[in-house]
Chains A and B, each alone.
Chain A
Amino acid sequence: MTTGRRPLLAVLKVTKSYAMGTQVVHALRGVTLGVAAGDYVAIMGASGSGKSTLMHILGCLDVPDRGRYLLDGVDVRYLEDDELAEIRNRKIGFVFQSFNLIPRTSAAQNVELPLVYAGVKRRNRRLRALEALARVGLANRVHHLPSELSGGQQQRVAIARALVSDPTVLLADEPTGNLDSRSTTEVLEVFDDLNREGRTVVLITHERDVADHARRVIVLRDGRVVQDERRRPLVEAVA
């Protein structure tokens, strides 16, 4: 592969607006950007800048009003709900600010869930879940319930869940927003490691020091990209 290859995520002149009461909010006013495989991108911006909307579109939780979004070469705009669900299941790993683990369900079962929906057999599922939990350093917390884990641990379970289906891209929406500084360091280390192994990571943050971990920082303001800065060179993804 070369640096001139097709980008993994391609956003072309995407606009998105939604009604909030009687007012129409233009969240994205024509965003174009590409993310290459193996990159580590931080998207920054004040609240209301459209970064969450962009994240929803990148994560196929929402589709653009206008413009195109190609994920791994597939235009998602005209896909049905169930087809979008399948893309989210196979190609995207989500990490949310509020962890979003299923309550009263063990760490292992939470991590297994994407594989359940993918129709993976039980034994294989369990194996892969344990692997992913080991990967984030939680091999000894497999049977714990989310309520029995610290914030940092919960977020690492969430990362394991995002990883388990071996997705094309990891999307993290303010992953450290609810964490103390020690847990923040833990979680960012996991992202850094994953990226070093070739995993594509896109994270949203409004904290400079979090963005500093990324190879590339994109700043949004009022629904437009106002800054796109490469901090570190893009390494070749491990195939």
Chain B
Amino acid sequence: MIAVESLRIAVQGILSNRLRSLLTMLGVTIGVASVIILVAVGNGSSAAVQSQLEALGTNVLTVFAARGGFGPFGRGGGRSTVGTQSRSSGLTMKDVTALQKRQNGPDLKSVNPVVNAQPTVTYQGATYQPGQFVGTTAGYFEAENFHVASGRLFTQADVANHSPVVVLGQTVVQNLFGTADPLGETIAVNGVQFQVIGVLATKGNQGLQNQDDVASAPITIVQASLTGVSGTLNQIVVEAKSRKVTSLAEQEITTTLLSTHKITNGEPDFQVLNQASFISASNASQHTFTVLLGAVAAISLLVGGIGVMNIMLVTVTERTREIGIRKAIGARRAHIIGQFMTEAVLLSMIGGLIGVGAGIAGSRFEIIGIQPVVATYSVVLAFCVSAAVGLLFGIYPAGRAAALRPIEALRYE
């Protein structure tokens, strides 16, 4: 009964000074809305980064011939030999064959050798040097998340037949052909004729690297005509069966290559790069970013709470006489505290509710190029905090009201 009565009195108090109540609520509203929006922005940017990273291929593991226990950073066979460990072969087709054996890599979907060339490409007088010229096998495209925009990708048969065919990225196409259709045309790669059979869909920039500035041809023909058949590979691009098994796949690769490289001292002469671990690392940093944004917004919620306290103190002073009357006719401390606490909590909760609405509405718009994604937890948390803010900042004014001496309160004009 007394709770209902407190609520009624509180509503009356809020309504009796509408503008002031509204302005007080505004502080809490802005606080709650900014928590929701900023956390949503953090969330949205993290989702954007995530999807960018996923465009790289989430199941991909890249094996590099890398520094051994000692020598400098070396590639292929060109590393110096220091100390006792003179054996280093880099990556070879033997490694690829070993990895392709099912019993060695049950979690591997495809194993693709990669050789890189830096050729100059010409077409009817136009000359261009692609950022990447990759000789590889057919599974590479799926592993690296490349899709075909027109024409076709090369196949395993093309690889087996040493077919002089090439697939071009959008940037390369623009530089060589302008707006003309490149399909079926023949280009010269360091003087060797290749037929353009496909154009890749655009992937956009990834960090510093333009993912569209790429050309790719079967590894057999690239080795035969451009890099030489020395047998060393620049990378092996492995696709795991799913994102979940990337760590298992990493282990399988390591075990297999340690054995093909006859390494027993546990210091591999290769490096396995796991894309999934990149993603989780970036997730962690994105999370920090989101928390930081939320914390900044929480401060504004605190400021809103101080606004509530300020107004409640004014209200208590204004209603000193009323408090005196209530005490004279029998209100106890708890009644007075209840009345003013209810009013403070109600003020901040209504403000919080409006803030939730404003925050969700505001998160529908793109902010600094990021489409915010509202986090449910931030909505619940912000609202609960707004109610708690009312409680916290209502205690002091309510306590002041309850502590008033009835005679003095009655005399107050």
Contacts and interface: CB of A to CB of B under 8 A. Distances in A.
Interface of A: 56, 59, 61-62, 81-82, 85-86, 88-90, 94, 96, 100-105, 113-114, 116-122, 161, 165
Nearest to A94: B328
Interface of B: 1-2, 4-5, 12, 16, 321-322, 324-335, 406-407, 410
A60 to B, nearest CB: 9
B1 A119 contact: yes
A47 to B, nearest CB: 14
Contact of B407 (A62, A89, A116, A119): A62
B333 A82 contact: yes
A168 to B, nearest CB: 13
Contact of B326 (A81, A113, A120, A122): A113
Given A85-B333, A101-B325, 8 more contacts: A82-B333, A82-B334, A85-B332, A86-B330, A96-B410, A102-B322, A114-B330, A122-B4
B326 A102 contact: yes
Given A61-B407, A96-B410, A114 B1 contact: no
B16 A117 contact: no
Nearest to A103: B322
A20 to B, nearest CB: 12
A90 B326 CA distance: 13
A102 to B, nearest CB: 6
Contact of A114 (B329, B333, B334): B329
Contact of A59 (B5, B12, B328, B334): B328
A175 B2 CA distance: 30
Contact of A82 (B322, B332, B406): B332
Contact of A61 (B5, B328, B335): B328
The secondary structure that dominates the B interface is: helix
Which of B12, B325, B330 has its CB near the most chain A CB atoms (within 10 A)?
B330
A104 B5 CA distance: 15
B332 A100 contact: no
Contacts of B334: 82
Given A61-B407, A116-B5, A119-B1, A85 B331 contact: yes
Contacts of A94: 328-329
Contacts of A88: 327-330
Contact of A90 (B330, B331, B410): B330
B103 to A, nearest CB: 81
Q: Determine which residue in A56, A94, A116, A161 has the highest number of CB atoms from chain B within 10 A of its CB, and name it.
A: A116
A29 to B, nearest CB: 19
Contact of A56 (B1, B326, B333, B407): B407
B330 A89 contact: yes
A204 B326 CA distance: 21
B322 A113 contact: no
A113 B12 contact: no
Nearest to A162: B329
Contacts of A120: 1
A201 B406 CA distance: 22
Nearest to B406: A61
Contacts of B331: 85, 89, 117
Contacts of A86: 330, 332
A119 B2 contact: yes
B330 A85 contact: yes
Contacts of B407: 56, 61-62
Going nearest first, the 10 A-B pairs with the smallest beta carbon separation are: A89-B330, A117-B330, A85-B332, A82-B332, A114-B329, A100-B325, A61-B406, A88-B330, A116-B5, A61-B407
B329 A81 contact: no
Contacts of A56: 407
10 contacts: A59-B328, A61-B407, A81-B333, A82-B334, A89-B331, A102-B322, A102-B325, A103-B322, A113-B326, A116-B2
Contacts of A89: 329-331
Contact of B12 (A90, A105, A117): A105
A230 B126 CA distance: 127
Nearest to B325: A100
Nearest to B321: A100
Contacts of A59: 328
A207 to B, nearest CB: 22
A117 to B, nearest CB: 4
Given A89-B330, A90-B330, A94-B329, A117 B322 contact: no
Nearest to B13: A104
Contact of A104 (B16, B327, B330, B332): B16
Contacts of B322: 102-103
A96 B1 CA distance: 27
B330 A118 contact: yes
Nearest to B330: A89
A238 to B, nearest CB: 24
Nearest to A83: B332
A104 B326 CA distance: 14
Nearest to A121: B1
A90 B330 CA distance: 8
A104 B12 contact: yes
Contacts of B16: 104
A127 to B, nearest CB: 15
A161 B406 contact: no
A122 B12 CA distance: 18
A108 to B, nearest CB: 13
Contacts of A114: 329-330
A116 B329 CA distance: 10
Contacts of A61: 328, 406-407, 410
A113 B329 contact: yes
A116 B1 contact: yes
Contact of B410 (A81, A100, A119): A100
Given A56-B407, A100-B410, A117-B335, A85 B12 contact: no
Contacts of B327: 85, 88
Contacts of B4: 122
